[in-house]
Amino acid sequence: MTRLFDQKISVLNIGLQSFADNIATAGAPVSSIMWQPPAEGQIEAGLVLARLLNDPEVIKANEIAMERYLGVEPVLVDVQTAGDVLPDFRADKRLLHSGPPIAWQDMCGPVKGALMGAAVYEGWAKNVEDASRMLESGEIQFSPCHSYNAVGPMAGIISPSMPVWVVEDANSEARHRTFSNFNEGLGKVLRFGANSTEVLDRLRWIEQELAPTLQKTLQVTGPIELKPIMAQALHMGDEVHNRNAAATGILIKKLAPSILKTDASTDVQERVLSFLASNDHFFLNLSMAACKNMLNAAAGVPNSTMVTVMARNGVNFGIRMSGTGDQWFQAPANPVDGLFFPGYGVEDAAADLGDSAITETAGVGGFAMASSPAIVKFVGGTPQDATNNSRRMQSITLGTNPAFTLPPLNFAPTAAGIDAIKVVDRGVLPIINTGIAHKEAGVGQIGAGITTAPLQCFVEALLTLWAKRKGNS
């Protein structure tokens, strides 16, 4: 030991940087490795992680889940009324909301406001005060959109009379279906909790004029493949979550000639085309339904640790994992680091909100930010940050999706198939770019930024999977 200190010392520091700083101050060469215990030092989670790492059954299950996800060909086939195509949706007075399950008293302002507006829209309540009473008493029920194979941005509200996009997997015999509501456009909208007469009148126009016209349009066009639109949009500056300008333009190009061939009046055709052209985010809801369709195929594979849902309800963040079926794992939503519109700040914001994180779950959105350098003007950061985000996500996924490639990364495919094991083991959290809603109903969007999924969701999912395996052994 004495002779050791007579020699020239080179130090490898693992852990706290301050240890390395002290050694460098003393004049010794030191190299640092950034490391922290997996699962933030939770002992039980660390033991379970050690057992699941490189487990042959888990590896095989993840290969199956990933293969199923990659094999889906989502196509837009129809527009229908939600109550007609979502199973048992009309059986009672029920509304759907974004994110994991939540009690009325725990909801954030925008979701409460949107549910009340939907109850008035359906004619179940005379006004929002009456709707609030009915929702609080349980006279009107509510469930997550994901429970019905549906998705909705921000508050995510779907009611029985609302039109929904119908997306099918063209590569499956069963032609598995997923659904999303329609994007309402800009201004005061239900998805941010607004429920004024203006908002409800727009919803009725969507139901009575826009949706029937687009339903007729799809009868002319036939099924529209959504993956190629998303892939092309990634090459044109979109990431198909917070930027959909290119994807919406491509969709309009496909729809417009057929809209003109429908029997809708010239005035209706003009209003429909004007509405589509004025809403750069119109494709978002289709992107979400397509991603949901792809991920549904990967769900329910025993022993798989592939994440199939990430969603937020304005209070909690929730995930589902393939090997644990429809069970939700929740934790408080992480704060959003972003840019606020003038006059607003973090104290005004609701927690992260919406089902649109299904895009990141499928490998686009925040995972594809490298393809959309312009997005940083909206969510903050630099183009290099966007590229770094896409690269970092490769460390927590099972593979890549060759259908979606990123030009700034030499057309490398997007990282896809979030692996809960890798998230917990490496401490790298899935990144999401997101809009920021005001905490009060109806104020609307007050900014946008970057957030991450909370680690504890993934820890709980792995603990549950391990307990399930032990119970079956």
Angle at 34 between CA 58 and CA 8, to 5 degrees: 130
The bridge status of strand 329-332 relative to strand 316-321 is antiparallel
pLDDT above 80 for 431 = yes
pLDDT above 80 for 471 = no
pLDDT above 90 for 6 = no
Alpha-carbon distance of 159 to 162, in angstroms, equals 6
Predicted local confidence at residue 33, as pLDDT:
74
Predicted local confidence at residue 4, as pLDDT:
61
Axis crossing angle, helix 245-259 with helix 227-234, rounded to the nearest 10: 130
Predicted local confidence at residue 29, as pLDDT:
86
**pLDDT tens string 212-235:** 999 999 999 999 999 999 999 999
pLDDT above 60 for 455 = yes
More confident residue, 271 or 31: 271
Residues 6+ apart with CB under 8 A from 444: 187, 188, 189, 192, 194, 437, 438
Residues counted in the chain = 473
Q: What percent of the chain has pLDDT over 90?
A: 82
Distance in Å from the first CA to the final CA of the chain: 50
Predicted local confidence at residue 1, as pLDDT:
58
Section 412-437 average pLDDT: 96
Residue 367, amino acid: F
Predicted local confidence at residue 176, as pLDDT:
94
CATH number of the domain at 74-289, out of 3.40.50.1000, 3.40.50.150, 3.30.70.20, 3.90.1710.10?
A: 3.90.1710.10
CATH code for the structural domain at 44-68+297-472: 3.90.1700.10
**pLDDT tens string 144-168:** 999 999 999 999 999 999 999 999 9
- Band of residue 307 on the pLDDT scale cut at 50, 70, 90: very high
pLDDT above 80 for 9 = no
pLDDT above 70 for 473 = no
**pLDDT tens string 361-416:** 999 999 999 999 888 888 888 889 899 999 999 999 999 999 999 999 999 999 99
Predicted local confidence at residue 340, as pLDDT:
92
Predicted local confidence at residue 37, as pLDDT:
78
**pLDDT tens string 19-72:** 788 878 877 788 877 667 788 889 999 999 999 999 999 999 999 999 999 999
Question: Do residues 442 and 113 touch, judged by C-beta distance below 8 A?
Answer: yes
- Band of residue 209 on the pLDDT scale cut at 50, 70, 90: very high
Predicted local confidence at residue 206, as pLDDT:
98
pLDDT above 90 for 5 = no
Q: What is the dihedral of CA 201, 207, 213, 219, to 10 degrees?
A: 170
pLDDT above 80 for 183 = yes
Alpha-carbon distance of 250 to 231, in angstroms, equals 11
Section 283-305 average pLDDT: 98
Predicted local confidence at residue 90, as pLDDT:
76
Residue 294, amino acid: M
What's the mean pLDDT when you consider all of the chain? 94
Listed by start position, the domains of the chain span 3-35, 44-68+297-472, 74-289
Predicted local confidence at residue 35, as pLDDT:
67
Predicted local confidence at residue 19, as pLDDT:
79
* Site of tokens 């909801």: 107
Question: Do residues 364 and 287 touch, judged by C-beta distance below 8 A?
Answer: yes
